[in-house]
Structure 1
Amino acid sequence: MDVFLRNLPSRLTDKILSTQLATAVEALGIEDWDCQKFGNKTFGILSFLHPQDGERFLQKHGQRPLIAQTPLVILGNIVQCQRSNKPPNPFVIKSLTKSADKRRQLVHERKPVEAPDGKVIFDIVRLSCGYFEYAGQELSYTMDILWNPDEGWAKFARRMLIMEFTITNFKRRVEIPYRIIESIVYKAGQFTITLWESPRFFDLGLVSLAALDEAYTPCKDRQTQLSGGSPLNHHEVLGQALIYRLDVSPSHFETIMRRLSARGTLPLCQGRILLLPSSPYKLANGLQEFKRTIQDSTKTVPFGLLYQMEALVKNGFLLPWTVQALLRKLTQLCKAKRIGPTSKQPPISPAAVKKLFAQIPFASSEVDASNFEVDELWRQIEENEEQIRNGLLQGMKPGIIRENRIPVHRVNITPTKMTLHGPDPEAKNRILRRFADHSDYFIRVQFCEEDGADVQFSTNVSNSHIYQRFKKVFRDGINIGGRGYGFLGFSHSSLRSHSAWFMATFSHEGGLASYFTVISKLGSFENIYSPARCAARIGQAFSETPVAISLVEHGVKNVKVIPDIKSDDGNRVFSDGVGTISQSLALAIQSDTQRHEDTATCFQIRWAGAKGMLAVDPRLEGNAMCVRESMVKFASSDVANLEICDMANKPIPMVLNRQMIKILEDMGIPNCWFFRQQNFALDNLRSVTETVENTAKFMKRQNIGHGMGFPRFLRRLWSFGIDYRRDRFLSSVVEAAVLRELRLLKHKARIPIRHGVTLFGIMDEFGYLEEGQVYVAFDDDGFIHDRSNNLHNRRMIITRSPALHPGDIQLATNIVPPLSHPLRVLRNCLVFPQKGKRDLPSCLSGGDLDGDTYGIIWDHDAVRQVRRTFLPADYPRVEPVSIGRTVQREDMTDFYIQFMETNQLGLIAVRHMILADQQPEGTADPDCLLLASMHSTAVDYSKTGKPVDMNEFKKIKTNRYRPDFLAPAPPTKIVNRNEISFDNPDDEQVQGNEDQDDNTGPIHKYYESEKINGLLFRAIDERQIWSHNVKITNPTVLGDLWDETQKSLRRECQRILRDNSWGPLEQEAWNVRSFYEDAVWNMSLEFSDNASLRITELEVFTGAIFNATGVQTRRQRDRSIQLKDEFDSLVQQTEAVIRKKSARPPGEQLDEAQMMAHCKTALRSSMACLNVACFKEEGRRSGWRRVDEVFQSFKVIAACCVIKELDVWNKLEEGLMASELKRKMIVA
């Protein structure tokens, strides 16, 4: 039932209206209600789940002829209440029903709810920030900036500490999320808070405006500093001043503190920290002095060392004057050794300084002051260097880089600071490949939030100051290690991930390499008048191309540019983005990449000013390639190398997503088909931990530890009678992999399709296929339940993501050509026809053939039940925004900032999902079609420079109710660094004590969707599956798994070695362990979103960065791919050292006796490493003081090495026995 409310204050918000109504409604004992106000209108709606509740409300506050009941007064206005003449919104009723059910569930489970008066709020007296130092051995706090509020409060809310206060009539707000708090030391009326990163600062406007209107709700203006302090230079120091002292009113302090302590959510410690009344050091002055010292040292100290020294300060590890003293020592050492700035072998390596990051503890009362003394820090650096050099003697090189990667430094620019990272292995691109010897003059700059995430758009927060800060960085550049880095360019993918390349000028080939000389050698861009298009063309040189081959060396003297194949009217291009390549040149590419086992016939390439796909054409003779006119984007003389972005060397699994599922539902595919696919995937996940064999197969499919032999290791343990599920770390590795897939299945509807595949799209060069036909070719793979040659004349569903328009999914007939036809040469691709009125790829979400992948489903149960297909979208071609002149560097940086600020692709996609679920016509609803068109415009925005008209977006009628499948996932966390735990649900709609000041975004209300996405979502009870099928309970009564593993492997080894002869190798083994664990720690820091807060060893081992709120962000997915690649490289190197692979000259042929002798040596080394790995004490290596953690994975790698060597020995023995038997037979 709805009650219509008149005469509401016009500036009233939904939040304030709800607060004002709560007293009147809850006084009647009514629990299930909601309200909504419409913009600045003076009316609103009060909705009740139960009509009788609405009647009771009207009996007290409603209007009768001439006689008013108890009036409802809101902020001085007498509000008129009457029954609405319209039926209630069905989604409001669904949402209220869902909330009521949830509340009853909580009551049934007897989960405690904090009392409404249990809030923790203090009156602020003053606030300051500064740093810790030691007065003798006593920890002391030095104030650097002080704020004296006129009035204000500090609230410990659900997820963050919030402070709001007034200074000189301006209201300020500070938000400190609990996740960034390292510790809180408190005494009566005072908190001293140590942070991992900077808080968030907001300006809430003039206090006088709020005083004029009680309903006034200011827009939060995000700031890059907290203004109003003394002195006024907070922006200069806030990246290093991460100690905040909050003085509050002592009134009721102990009572309120008991409430806070009872929550158990914060690292609280009662104590006293001395305040130094004055200090000779001020952070701003110290930073300036340090900057001058860096500049002076550039003549002596190599850049890599200066970079790591500056990172110690920028990332908040040490105070600037401490690092300044270290740098002076380093400079003196370099002078004494006569080392120059270009030296490749300085007396102290950058890795030795970087290792210090882990060895510096947080200053606290429990930490000895000597840890921060210059001499002690220098001693630690020298010890690190000695360990690194010992490792080098054994073939262990820190930060090993694969041939197709290059070390690159990374810089994060956040709203308040700059942090330095790396160098990390980066896939090569044209620029990095050309200047490989000067790679440290190029840096990747990431523009992001303090925690590494994207800066989020919000309707009630202005980020204009943040973008102005980012724009200043583009305009002025950044200074690191005495070098000035300025903007160079960005690729299409880096634009979407908000990163860009910067470079510093350097000497090259007798001249200076600068922005202008580098860009001019790429090609000619003078005739491009669109900043977006110019940036996209230059960005081709920044596309990741791990492989490049010299065309001259392969005898390719001329590359033909051939015309495109078009429709009869010339309006459609069937060959858009695809050319051809000869078989012999394709084989040469695979030979150069050492992929002899692959049969790739399609390559995504960059060459000169061209981009797109090349597909094998058997008619081409010799080493030849042809590019189409549509592939050539700009003129370039840089034609020497063919760069490979990707190869179609294997099929890609086909998985559904929510947009695709909704369109398939609208096409008539029944619910039972979707449930069948989801249940099959769920059954597979449920069975993973049932048996060791299932676990091993799953880990192999997920490619976790496959290179080190992890699945084989689990099987071998089982053969010894040892169950991996007894070990917490091994169990967590499996749990993390299963949970990741489970959450993708539930929260993204990523449902794998057995009768389907995803492939690169190319064109039929021979004119064999007719309109409406395709040819699907793929290699056999375990995840596909069919063979491509058996699919002749099958109807297929063809699509491309993202699919929002109902016509983005089409049907086609698969035609398998005769065995002798040249099309049969092609593998792992989808071949489209060159005939018809319109090319099929353009019908599928505006696709083309320059590297797009397409999803194919041939499941007969799905295809035969399609009842309806939709005409594809046909949007007019958008001309890029022109400025009428040659594009300058500043034009492209302005576009970059504009894109960051106005790109609303995600917002449009979510709104489309909501409306498609709510409207009867689904994706065919007119508003959904309009949103699909807007989404297409937003996708092309990066190339056209034309943003979506958000005024049109705002005209689309919507409500604040969302389908339940868009609700956030229950939060999870990693506890004790290697164990996954689900948090208790934190549903604001049912807790009853909603903390309005803790909102980080709009409050969404959810209803149970009755469409297929909602049904699939609710069919997965992830908590139940986690607790019953995934979560492994480790028994403690069976003893230590690793003790038994050592004993079992020792017995096997003694059969071969006859003694425990690996003891003398243990010192060397300690060095290997130290090398490996240093590298793991380094990855845990470099791949974290935070400059000093690490990811866990579990995340490093599985190659997947953990996201507590559900599924990974785009950036976390990209970084996870890099993390996995780097960890696999580390494992490969560590295994080579343990198994003594480097001791054998490459290519040397050994006889059987030599092979057996080498196997014994490798077996001794592997057992020594396993023994060392299982030691509990850490005394043999440098401790990591910032974290108290013992890494677990080295023992896994060592055990895998032992098992591999045992298997090698067994094969050698079998070979000897077979040879002996053969010899005897010949003699006989």
Structure 2
Amino acid sequence: MPPHAFVHFAEPEAARRAAAGSELLVKRARPAHGGSLRRAARRRGAEPFRFAGSRAEVGNLWEPDDFAVAWRAPEPGDSAAPGGLDFVVDPLDDTCRLVFSRDVAFAFPGSRGASAVLRCDVKLEFSFLDVAEVLAFQNDDSLLLRLSAAPLLYYRTAADDVHQPVPFDLLDDDDDDPWIRTTDITPSGAIGRCWVYRVSFKTWLWPEMKDALAYMKGQQVPVVLCGIGCRGLNVNDEPAFGQPTDDLFFSVQYEGLRFPVLFLVNVLVHKGIVNEHQLTSEFFGLLEKEEDDVNVAALTELLGEKFQVFYLCRRLKNVQIRAAENNKLLRLHGSRKVTGDHNAEVRSMVITPTRAYCLPPQVELSNRVIRHYHRVADRFLRVTFMDEGMQPLNINALNLYAAPIVKDMMSNLLQQKTTVHRRVRTILTKGFHMCGRKYSFLAFSSNQLRKRSAWFFAEDGTTTTASIREWMGQFPSNNVAKHAARMGQCFTSSYATVLIQPYEVNEFLEDVEHNGHNFSDGIGKITPGLAMEVAKRLPLMHNYPPSAYQIRYAGFKGVLAVWPGQNDGIRISLRPSMRKFESTHSVLEVVSWTKFQPAFLNRQIITLLTSLGVPDSIFWQMQGAMLHNLDRILSDRDAAYQVVTTSCSEHGTIPGLMLSAGFTPETEPHLKAMLLAIKSSQLQGLLEKTKIFVPKGRWLMGCLDELGILEQGQCFVRASVPSLNKYFGKHGSRFSSGNKSAEVIVGTIVMAKNPCLHPGDVRILEAVDVPELHHLVDCLVFPKKGLRPHPNEASGSDLDGDIYFVTWDENLVPPRKQSWTPMDYSPVHARQLLRGVRQHDIIDFFLRNMVSEVLGPISNAHVVHADRSKYGAMDDKCIQLAELAATAVDFPKTGKIVTMPPFLRPQEYPDFMGKEDDISYKSEKILGRLYRSIQQYMLVRSLEDFSRNDVPYDTNLEVPGASLFLEDAWQCKCLYESKLNRLLNQYSVRTEAELVTGEIWSLTERNKRRKNEIKERLKHAYSKLHQEFRNIFESIGADHGESPEEKKVLVYEMKASAWYQVTYHPKWIQALRETSEFDGKEMPARLSFPWIAVDYLTRIKIRRRGQADAISRDRGLRFKRRFSEGCEVSWMPEARPLYHFALPT
């Protein structure tokens, strides 16, 4: 780092003059370069609460009153810190800090082991969000802070060279001498394995401490003040106090336990539910006595705890008994884990600068590698590098930056790395030990690269990382980026479907190339027969195959669209552009497929459309219409039905069916909760992302007009109409239509692909009706004619599975009705090695991505400059940022690193971006006005509470014979809810309705940054839970298994009624309250269980309402079709049959 100094000026004019005359500054006959720095730090509104001369101890609780100390911070009188430690509670950013000085030995490169000892300031910082509880003890002047995450650790050289001769306070800003992130500073790894911090302070500081605690309590931190008479803690050093450890992850080892059980013990320890002091010989003895499946179920139940479990052995015995009973119940029903060919139980680990967290195994969609190596599937471990508190690992934690002004002024400033970076590199290169296994780096997918995640594997002597890579295929030999990307292709989550013989594949379907462009990049063909065969292997609820599949086959990737074959035995046709590497794998794997996907605007699309001339009033009206429907979602069945069937994709099925059968949110609390979850989620989308629903729009998969009918500037769109008939596929052909209702779009359409930053990324095309293309539903079909492929014009995309925003709303078509000149998306030349790619090259590539990832900051800067400029996205700065973003997006393919110039970095942000830690301003453009209108809406209309103590019971859902199934239903319900509660607690989701609908909105602030990832995990996890209990529901025993279809239906209706009764009947609700435990509070009623059989409950409801002649005749709604014998539809839009739902009119 070049020599530098910082000068604060009392007057802005003095700073300006000094910067203007900086060339006159001379030191030792050399000119000194000067420059000004616009301070982006927020000025303080309140001074921090500072408690000097404090003491701090880090440890764990053995029992509620026993605190075991693992490390002590320097105390007053120590030579390195004569003043002791400062404990700070800071209202500026709602953090607590422990700050002290210590001597640190630094080794220098090339010094052959020589080191220098420097006095450094050390800071431990944690957010209020990470404080689970504060106990304040007046009898010994101490606080006990129980954390849910490790603090951030920093150091910097001690501030003994600061000269401050002015008589006033300078702006408190750490930019002058920036804090540098580091790893655990304690010899015993106390910060990485302990959860409790004890801070002692001087008695005379109690009045200020009470003010600080009052402030924390006002910020939702649980604070308990223990008076003089309160019993204090027993404080003792742990047995191995101060002893160094070389265990990176503080993993629990015990030879008497098998891996699945031992891994879960580590999950409990890493989550803080138990600590190593509680793992006694009695604890391990209890585990050794039971079978593995009982222990796995018991330990998994303990994972649902929010706080530390005391008296562990007693608790373990109880959950083991319950787990054994539940396992017997599952065996009785013949139930098994919902894995099969498509899914796998995946173990994961999160590594932070100071800790490692084993995560509970999750059933996830599998991939090619894990399916092939299923016998050793438990040896694969997905490792993600994150910051403390499960936050994204910021590049500032990995890079040692000079102060921003120095970095901006100096060219070619060498980037130094922190000890956090060294920790990550060490783990990637040397691996680590966990649960008696040595894990080594294997590979990563492109999606994992973005998330800073990779696969590790524990070799077993037979299967090695080298043998796995060899089996995967032959990858590009001298291009590191492509080599890594092609390896990652094998780890794409996918459904294994049909084995394709080599003679059934045409690998040489000619690419459509002219004018230097490939119009068919990434797309091939599949025959209708094979498409149907593939559809039967997928979790589809309808009888018709999708029109296109995104696939992986051997070394090919891309899309296969349905086209008639030529009776030559060829079932799939692949193009050279789809071939990425050589492989002999022959199973067709499906990643995704065409389906109904409602369209929503976002900030990027709105920014481009406004820049192209679409009036602000259009977006204002569209948001208003959306709010109008959400406002009526509980009071107007038509409005509710429209919202759930048109804007909720597949998640609107259950509430849609309930509404159509006559259930109302006024009398059905689960329906109400689901509608409120949908409303809350969509409001949150409006507030945080300006996600405005577009009724005349879809997200569509890109395909090619193989017939060559479409001309340049044309496209074909046939969009499916929302339908609920798919849910009745198992009720026989009379209840399920084999055709997919769809609408051909004709006229001007607007299309774009995310991310879209350039005005030319929005394309205006003409949708035409081509009968020969009618079989392509939910596709955006592009021409193979023209000067340049339309997909390439839109954000440089192609046809290998990209999804496009499409709208035919004429109000969203820019006035010129012509596309802006597209950006040049010619690929950047990838760096080539003069030798073959080696393992360390792949690791270096992974690390370069971690320390240089800038796509997010580029996108944010684009938003700021577009909002500030009267030219919007057409501003020169926005165009430059769009070009940078295009290069950054392709980093996984090219390895090209992008650097954002200082002049493009924002100094302040519009209010709608919600950047509370930065200077913000009130945006006067449409995004700002839309944002503030939603803020106001949510203030005026506070959401209703989901929970209710009274649960109405619907006697219409009672059927004769249901009593035979009540006991079994009760047992199933208890088991279901124990698993459901674990899911809710694991991610702190507020309501079960969010899980059922997939509309997750109540994540904690800490989890919101990973919202999309967590939503996908939760949706998949609940889907598997739902499927597991749907399988249980459909297991009706040998007595009924061979019965005619009509008798089976009656049995299913009895069972569905029984499931409803044990959930809703007051007698069973009271039984649940008497047996439940939920943090010492009454557990809210869980109501989703019976609706796993929603199709049968709606049958019962419709028939019983019909028999009672309780028919709603409002607005001409009436019975229209026989549902089953003596059963009719009670509420449907006029002239619409039940099993072919269209939009209500």
- TM-score bin, normalised by smaller chain: 0.7 to 0.9
- Provide the residue aligned with 1:635 in structure 2: 582
Compared CA separation, residues 879 and 177, structure 1 to 2 (3 A)? same
- Structure 1 counterpart of 2:793, one-letter code: C
1:572-631: CA deviations, max 9, x gaps? 111111112222222221233364523422111111111111122324334521111111
1:1143-1193: CA deviations, max 9, x gaps? 3679634375675466446534542454488534667657355x7461422
Q: Work out the CA distance in 2 between the residues paired with 1:1179 and 1:678.
A: 43
- Structure 2 counterpart of 1:1014, one-letter code: G
Among residues 696, 699, 709, which one is paired with 1:758 in the alignment?
699
Among residues 466, 470, 495, which one is paired with 2:420 in the alignment?
466
Matched, 1:661 2:606: yes
Compared CA separation, residues 798 and 122, structure 1 to 2 (3 A)? same
Contact 2:348 2:381 in 1 (8 A): yes
Q: Work out the CA distance in 1 between the residues paired with 2:17 and 2:1069.
A: 66
Compared CA separation, residues 409 and 517, structure 1 to 2 (3 A)? same
Compared CA separation, residues 249 and 907, structure 1 to 2 (3 A)? same
Contact 2:645 2:653 in 1 (8 A): no
- Structure 1 counterpart of 2:424, one-letter code: F
- Provide the residue aligned with 1:175 in structure 2: 125
Query: Does the residue aligned with 1:912 lie in a helix, a strand or coil?
Result: helix
Q: Work out the CA distance in 1 between the residues paired with 2:1005 and 2:233.
A: 42
The Cα of 1:908 is off from its aligned counterpart by 0.7
The Cα of 1:394 is off from its aligned counterpart by 4.1
Q: Work out the CA distance in 1 between the residues paired with 2:592 and 2:131.
A: 43
Q: Work out the CA distance in 2 between the residues paired with 1:115 and 1:524.
A: 61
Among residues 150, 153, 156, which one is paired with 2:86 in the alignment?
153
Among residues 371, 375, 381, which one is paired with 1:443 in the alignment?
381
- Structure 2 counterpart of 1:545, one-letter code: S
Compared CA separation, residues 37 and 295, structure 1 to 2 (3 A)? farther
Q: Work out the CA distance in 1 between the residues paired with 2:336 and 2:1089.
A: 20
Q: Work out the CA distance in 2 between the residues paired with 1:145 and 1:1008.
A: 49
- Structure 2 counterpart of 1:379, one-letter code: K
Contact 1:756 1:859 in 2 (8 A): yes
Contact 1:669 1:866 in 2 (8 A): no
Contact 2:497 2:588 in 1 (8 A): yes
- Structure 1 counterpart of 2:508, one-letter code: V
- Provide the residue aligned with 2:1090 in structure 1: 1197
Counting only pairs closer than 5 Å after superposition, residues 257-336 of structure 1 correspond to structure 2 as 257-258=210-211, 260-261=213-214, 264-265=217-218, 266-269=221-224, 270=226, 271-282=230-241, 294=253, 296-297=255-256, 301-323=257-279, 325-326=281-282, 328-329=284-285, 333=289
Compared CA separation, residues 435 and 139, structure 1 to 2 (3 A)? same
Contact 1:1136 1:1142 in 2 (8 A): no
Among residues 133, 136, 147, which one is paired with 1:195 in the alignment?
147
Matched, 1:800 2:749: no
Matched, 1:935 2:873: no
The Cα of 1:759 is off from its aligned counterpart by 1.4
Q: Work out the CA distance in 2 between the residues paired with 1:708 and 1:395.
A: 27
Compared CA separation, residues 185 and 42, structure 1 to 2 (3 A)? farther
- Provide the residue aligned with 1:674 in structure 2: 619
Among residues 775, 779, 782, which one is paired with 1:829 in the alignment?
779
Q: Work out the CA distance in 1 between the residues paired with 2:632 and 2:98.
A: 49
Among residues 1058, 1065, 1077, which one is paired with 1:1183 in the alignment?
1077
Counting only pairs closer than 5 Å after superposition, residues 925-964 of structure 1 correspond to structure 2 as 925-950=875-900, 953-956=901-904, 960-964=907-911
Root-mean-square deviation (CA, aligned residues, Å) is: 4.1
Among residues 1067, 1071, 1095, which one is paired with 2:971 in the alignment?
1071
- Provide the residue aligned with 1:1121 in structure 2: 1016
Compared CA separation, residues 772 and 896, structure 1 to 2 (3 A)? same
Among residues 986, 1011, 1016, which one is paired with 2:930 in the alignment?
1016
Q: Work out the CA distance in 2 between the residues paired with 1:273 and 1:707.
A: 53
Matched, 1:165 2:117: no
1:781-829: CA deviations, max 9, x gaps? 489xx9976544x233232221111111222222322x3x3x3332221
Query: Does the residue aligned with 1:506 lie in a helix, a strand or coil?
Result: coil
Q: Work out the CA distance in 1 between the residues paired with 2:214 and 2:524.
A: 67
- Provide the residue aligned with 2:6 in structure 1: 11
- Structure 2 counterpart of 1:1192, one-letter code: A
Q: Work out the CA distance in 1 between the residues paired with 2:282 and 2:380.
A: 26
Scaled by the length of structure 1, the TM-score of the pair is 0.76
- Provide the residue aligned with 1:909 in structure 2: 859
Compared CA separation, residues 388 and 481, structure 1 to 2 (3 A)? farther
Compared CA separation, residues 1025 and 241, structure 1 to 2 (3 A)? closer
Compared CA separation, residues 751 and 249, structure 1 to 2 (3 A)? same
Q: Work out the CA distance in 2 between the residues paired with 1:289 and 1:516.
A: 25
Q: Work out the CA distance in 2 between the residues paired with 1:662 and 1:1165.
A: 50
Compared CA separation, residues 233 and 1188, structure 1 to 2 (3 A)? farther
- Structure 1 counterpart of 2:369, one-letter code: I
Compared CA separation, residues 328 and 12, structure 1 to 2 (3 A)? same
Matched, 1:609 2:523: no
The Cα of 1:416 is off from its aligned counterpart by 1.2
Q: Work out the CA distance in 2 between the residues paired with 1:714 and 1:1117.
A: 29
Q: Work out the CA distance in 1 between the residues paired with 2:573 and 2:800.
A: 14
Q: Work out the CA distance in 1 between the residues paired with 2:251 and 2:756.
A: 55
Contact 2:912 2:927 in 1 (8 A): yes
Q: Work out the CA distance in 2 between the residues paired with 1:377 and 1:284.
A: 31
The Cα of 1:327 is off from its aligned counterpart by 6.2
Unaligned runs of 5+ in 2: 23-37, 76-80, 104-118, 405-415, 725-739, 1108-1121, 1128-1145
- Provide the residue aligned with 1:1004 in structure 2: 919
- Structure 2 counterpart of 1:204, one-letter code: R
Q: Work out the CA distance in 2 between the residues paired with 1:892 and 1:827.
A: 40
Compared CA separation, residues 564 and 283, structure 1 to 2 (3 A)? farther
Contact 2:531 2:545 in 1 (8 A): no
Counting only pairs closer than 5 Å after superposition, residues 803-822 of structure 1 correspond to structure 2 as 803-817=756-770, 819=771, 821=772
- Provide the residue aligned with 2:66 in structure 1: 139
Counting only pairs closer than 5 Å after superposition, residues 1206-1225 of structure 1 correspond to structure 2 as 1206-1207=1100-1101, 1210=1104
Matched, 1:412 2:350: yes
Contact 1:448 1:454 in 2 (8 A): yes
Query: Does the residue aligned with 1:209 lie in a helix, a strand or coil?
Result: coil
The Cα of 1:431 is off from its aligned counterpart by 0.5
Compared CA separation, residues 480 and 1104, structure 1 to 2 (3 A)? farther
Q: Work out the CA distance in 1 between the residues paired with 2:1066 and 2:494.
A: 41
Among residues 531, 555, 561, which one is paired with 2:508 in the alignment?
561
The Cα of 1:219 is off from its aligned counterpart by 1.1
Compared CA separation, residues 495 and 1113, structure 1 to 2 (3 A)? farther
- Provide the residue aligned with 2:500 in structure 1: 551
Greater Cα shift, 166-175 or 393-402: 393-402
The Cα of 1:361 is off from its aligned counterpart by 5.0
Contact 2:760 2:820 in 1 (8 A): yes
Matched, 1:647 2:593: yes
Matched, 1:1027 2:934: no
- Structure 2 counterpart of 1:280, one-letter code: P
Query: Does the residue aligned with 2:536 lie in a helix, a strand or coil?
Result: helix
Greater Cα shift, 442-451 or 690-699: 690-699
- Structure 2 counterpart of 1:962, one-letter code: Y
- Provide the residue aligned with 1:896 in structure 2: 846
- Provide the residue aligned with 1:1084 in structure 2: 984
Unaligned runs of 5+ in 1: 1-8, 22-33, 45-88, 100-113, 335-344, 364-370, 969-986, 988-1000, 1220-1228
Between the two proteins, the alignment pairs up a number of residues equal to: 1023
Among residues 108, 125, 142, which one is paired with 2:54 in the alignment?
125
Contact 1:126 1:247 in 2 (8 A): yes
Contact 2:69 2:241 in 1 (8 A): no
Scaled by the length of structure 2, the TM-score of the pair is 0.81
Q: Work out the CA distance in 1 between the residues paired with 2:1104 and 2:52.
A: 74
